[in-house]
């Protein structure tokens, strides 16, 4: 593994391999630990484990808040992902292809939810939704619509970054070719550009879903009494009890995302898109 | 198929005039080449014909249609890109069919026309391949088939040969000419390669700094260039500074040589002599346009010698003479006589047409 001509080159390669190993360990250790914990038999978390069991996974089904939380989180994430793509796809086209005045300013504005602390976004949204309800009389707080409206702010920056980067990678002469062959700009976008950036669209959808699904700061402001998302349910559970149930929930979540990534990667090369 | 008329078209990018007041009429079925150094406005002109960019001023007409403000998808123009620009997600057959599908032709007609177009470029059997599975030359031919299959009124070629290697380039060049003559389609090609332009075009348009320098057949441009830029861009030449002589037939160089020449343009300040129009004789000889010279350099090119000659006036001439047998070889330092063909030397102006 460590080859090289001189001693200094060998040392450099060794240092590089070491740095890679340390980084990977730091990234993966929490994931591995969580999955490991979820199989402990003991109720009080301690090392080494007294033994292994699947009982915590079984216990999940009885924890009603995890089930309903999962359902709401999934529904909100799907809605936020769809809404985010509906906004960012045309926006990305306009920002990369059009000669919009103030392109940079618009791009920065759309990226700004990344910079503003999510708690502030949540609080602001909460006030806005209450005002909206008072003005219109339509109930929005606590609905999937209200949640999705909030979460879409979180998905837009990710989605937009991925889509603009992918669009910038499409050779403009390919689109010109379509135009010269009689395709209108809309047909060109649908028949030529969209298929070319499809991996980017899928990646944008995945990122959006994961970002929304795991969000807690914004959701905290939007839930109604009796309502919960999965991350909130986990937080509430941890407030009075620390046992491997939470680890089991997290392990399932990791498995879900990993499965989504692997399945998607079979159909579109995500490495090309991100 | 139709004639193409560009009337006083200009294109301004921000404050830069990329194309300045260009007029050009291309006859039905003619092959015209836009030639010039990079940044001369030739590609901008081509893109204005295609409709990818709109002319800031002037009019573009295809046949009787004024298409100046039409988008590209309503112009019925075939465009072949320098990098081919095939649709990477579609098969060869679907690439070629793309334009016909946009025209909503019946499925049977599409199949027939695609097959015919692929046969035309000798790519039968490649229908189901993807573009990335093809060589550069094959991709180029798919691009040509894709542009021709829609029966465009005008075919536009943007440096179509520059991404091919030298040998392939010669083949594709001949192929392009064959296809163009076969289909009789009005064609405009852009290139910066003068050999390519000379060998393929019915007429050439030499451009520089956004302006047309000269329009003409390859022979006219080579033998009687409008100015020094055109003369230097097309072929090699000797440029001797000077002024027309009093007799009206000769040009007097700065060194004082009076050279009889075929024609002298108004305001000529430069004499152009192509290297192959100078005959070289060993020793002394006398006659019209005969000047004593010494060989300063002799480069053997196989079929010809390139000779650098120094005249008694200190002026130098580059001559190209056919190489004979070994006994007729030239040596450096040899005393010779340079004979300038009076029917081939022309007095031209050195200044080119520049933006006002």
Q: What is the pLDDT of residues B175-203, one digit of tens each?
A: 888 888 888 899 999 998 888 899 899 99
Provide the pLDDT confidence category of residue B79 given band limits of 50, 70 and 90: very high
Chain A: nearest CA to B77, how far in angstroms?
6
CB contact under 8 A, A173 and B85: yes
CA-to-CA distance for A131 and A196, rounded, in angstroms? 43
CA-to-CA distance for B176 and A259, rounded, in angstroms? 52
pLDDT tens string A197-234: 988 888 888 888 888 887 877 777 777 777 788 888 77
pLDDT of residue B245: 86
Interval A149-169 mean pLDDT: 87
| Residue A160 forms contact with B (CB below 8 Å) | no
CB within 8 A of A131, min separation 6: which ones?
none
pTM (2 d.p.): 0.81
User: How many residues in chain A?
Assistant: 274
Which one is the CATH code of B4-223: 1.10.10.60, 3.40.50.300, 3.40.50.1000, 1.10.3720.10?
Answer: 3.40.50.300
Among chain B residues, the shortest Cα distance to A176 is held by: B52
Which one is the CATH code of A59-273: 3.40.50.2300, 3.40.30.10, 1.10.3720.10, 3.40.640.10?
Answer: 1.10.3720.10
Identify which has the larger pLDDT, B5 or A75: B5
Which one is the CATH code of B237-348: 3.40.50.1820, 3.40.50.300, 3.50.50.60, 2.40.50.140?
Answer: 2.40.50.140
Question: Is a pLDDT exceeding 60 seen at residue B355?
Answer: no
Strands (E), B171-324: 186-191, 203-208, 211-216, 238-244, 250-253, 258-260, 263-264, 270-273, 278-282, 290-300, 304-311, 316-322
pLDDT of residue A1: 47
| Residue B75 forms contact with A (CB below 8 Å) | yes
Provide the pLDDT confidence category of residue A271 given band limits of 50, 70 and 90: low
H or E, element range at B340: strand B335-340
pLDDT tens string B26-38: 999 999 999 999 8
Residue of A173, A176, A182 to mutate, interface with B, max B Cβ within 10 Å = A182
Q: Could you tell me which of B247, B240, B263, B243 has the C-alpha nearest to residue B311?
A: B240
| Residue B146 forms contact with A (CB below 8 Å) | yes
pLDDT of residue B287: 85
Identical fold between B4-223 and B237-348: no
CA B170 to chain centre: 15
Question: Is a pLDDT exceeding 50 seen at residue B356?
Answer: no
pLDDT of residue B1: 64
Domain ranges for chain B: 4-223, 237-348
Question: Is a pLDDT exceeding 60 seen at residue A106?
Answer: yes
Interval B273-292 mean pLDDT: 90
Provide the pLDDT confidence category of residue B310 given band limits of 50, 70 and 90: very high
Q: What is the DSSP letter of B226?
A: S
Interval B218-240 mean pLDDT: 91
Alpha helix stretches (DSSP H) within B224-345:
228-233
CB contact under 8 A, A176 and B86: no
Q: Are strands B316-322 and B304-311 parallel, antiparallel or unpaired?
A: antiparallel
pLDDT of residue A124: 85
Domain ranges for chain A: 59-273
Q: B145 and B117 in contact (C-beta within 8 Å)?
A: yes
Q: A201 and A264 in contact (C-beta within 8 Å)?
A: no
Chain A: nearest CA to B196, how far in angstroms?
23
- A169-172's contacts with Cβ under 8 Å and 24+ in sequence apart are A169/A197, A170/A196, A170/A197, A171/B83, A171/B85
CB contact under 8 A, A176 and B72: yes
pLDDT of residue A269: 67
pLDDT of residue A4: 55
Among the residue ranges A264-268, B32-36, B320-324, the one predicted with the least confidence is A264-268
pLDDT of residue B150: 93
| Residue A182 forms contact with B (CB below 8 Å) | yes
**Chain A partners of B83 at a C-beta cutoff of 8 Å?**
171, 173
H or E, element range at B57: strand B57-62
Provide the pLDDT confidence category of residue B46 given band limits of 50, 70 and 90: very high
| Residue A194 forms contact with B (CB below 8 Å) | no
Identify which has the larger pLDDT, A248 or A14: A14
Residue of A169, A172, A181 to mutate, interface with B, max B Cβ within 10 Å = A181
pLDDT of residue B235: 86
Q: B202 and B343 in contact (C-beta within 8 Å)?
A: no
Look up residue B280 and give its two tokens. 């070289």
**Chain B partners of A193 at a C-beta cutoff of 8 Å?**
none
Question: Is a pLDDT exceeding 90 seen at residue B122?
Answer: no
Provide the pLDDT confidence category of residue B297 given band limits of 50, 70 and 90: very high
Q: A122 and A217 in contact (C-beta within 8 Å)?
A: yes
Interval A93-99 mean pLDDT: 83
H or E, element range at B35: strand B31-35
By CB atoms closer than 10 A (0-12, 13-18, 19+), residue B207 is buried
Question: Is a pLDDT exceeding 80 seen at residue A266?
Answer: no
CB contact under 8 A, B71 and A182: no
| Residue A177 forms contact with B (CB below 8 Å) | yes
CB contact under 8 A, A177 and B83: no
């Amino acid at each position: 593994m460590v080859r090289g001509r001189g001693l200094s080159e060998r040392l450099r390669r060794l240092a590089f391999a070491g740095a890679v190993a340390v980084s990977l360990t730091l990234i993966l250790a929490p994931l591995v630990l969580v999955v490991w914990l979820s199989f402990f038999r003991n109720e009080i978390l301690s090392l080494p484990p007294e033994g292994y069991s699947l009982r915590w996974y079984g216990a999940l089904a009885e924890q009603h808040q995890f089930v309903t939380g999962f359902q709401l989180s999934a529904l909100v994430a799907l809605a936020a992902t769809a809404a985010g793509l509906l906004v960012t796809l045309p926006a990305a086209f306009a920002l990369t292809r059009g000669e919009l005045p103030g392109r940079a300013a618009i791009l920065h504005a759309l990226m700004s939810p990344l910079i503003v602390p999510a708690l502030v976004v949540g609080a602001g949204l909460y006030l806005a939704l209450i005002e909206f309800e008072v003005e219109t009389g339509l109930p929005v707080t606590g609905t999937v619509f209200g949640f999705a409206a909030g979460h879409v702010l979180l998905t837009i920056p990710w989605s937009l970054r991925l889509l603009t980067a992918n669009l910038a990678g499409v050779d403009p002469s390919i689109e010109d070719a379509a135009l010269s062959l009689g395709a209108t700009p809309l047909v060109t976008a649908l028949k030529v550009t969209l298929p070319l950036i499809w991996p980017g669209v899928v990646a944008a959808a995945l990122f959006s879903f994961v970002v929304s699904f795991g969000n807690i700061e914004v959701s905290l402001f939007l839930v109604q009494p009796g309502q919960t998302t999965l991350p909130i349910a986990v937080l509430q559970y941890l407030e009075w009890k620390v046992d491997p149930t939470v680890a089991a929930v997290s392990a399932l979540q990791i498995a879900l995302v990993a499965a989504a990534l692997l399945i998607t990667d079979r159909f579109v090369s995500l490495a090309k898109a991100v | 198929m139709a004639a193409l008329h560009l009337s006083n078209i200009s294109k301004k990018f921000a404050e830069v005039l990329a194309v300045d007041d260009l007029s050009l009429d291309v006859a039905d079925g003619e092959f015209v080449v836009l030639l010039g150094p990079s940044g001369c406005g030739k590609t901008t002109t081509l893109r204005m014909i295609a409709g990818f960019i709109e002319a800031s001023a002037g009019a573009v007409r295809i046949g009787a249609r004024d298409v100046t403000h039409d988008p590209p998808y309503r112009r019925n123009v075939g465009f072949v890109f320098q990098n081919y620009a095939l649709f990477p997600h579609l098969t060869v057959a679907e690439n070629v069919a793309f334009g016909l599908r946009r025209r909503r032709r019946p499925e049977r007609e599409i199949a027939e026309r695609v097959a015919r177009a692929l046969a035309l470029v000798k790519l039968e059997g490649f229908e189901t391949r993807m573009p990335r599975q093809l060589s550069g030359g094959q991709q180029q031919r798919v691009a040509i088939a894709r542009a021709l299959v829609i029966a465009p009124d005008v075919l536009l070629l943007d440096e179509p040969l520059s991404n091919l290697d030298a040998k392939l380039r010669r083949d594709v060049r001949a192929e392009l000419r064959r296809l163009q003559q076969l289909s009789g389609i009005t064609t405009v090609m852009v290139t910066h390669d003068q050999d390519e332009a000379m060998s393929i075009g019915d007429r050439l348009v030499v451009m520089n700094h956004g302006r047309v320098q000269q329009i003409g057949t390859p022979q006219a441009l080579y033998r009687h260039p409008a100015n020094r830029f055109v003369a230097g861009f097309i072929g090699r030449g000797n440029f001797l500074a000077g002024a027309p002589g009093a007799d009206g037939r000769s040009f007097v160089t700065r060194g004082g040589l009076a050279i009889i020449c075929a024609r002298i343009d108004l305001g000529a300040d430069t004499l152009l002599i192509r290297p192959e129009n100078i005959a070289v004789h060993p020793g002394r000889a006398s006659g019209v346009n005969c000047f004593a010279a010494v060989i300063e350099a002799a480069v053997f090119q196989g079929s010809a010698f390139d000779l650098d000659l120094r005249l008694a006036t200190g002026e130098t001439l580059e001559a190209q003479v056919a190489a004979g047998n070994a006994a007729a070889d030239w040596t450096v330092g040899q005393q010779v006589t340079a004979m300038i063909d009076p029917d081939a030397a022309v007095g031209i102006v050195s200044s080119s047409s520049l933006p006002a």
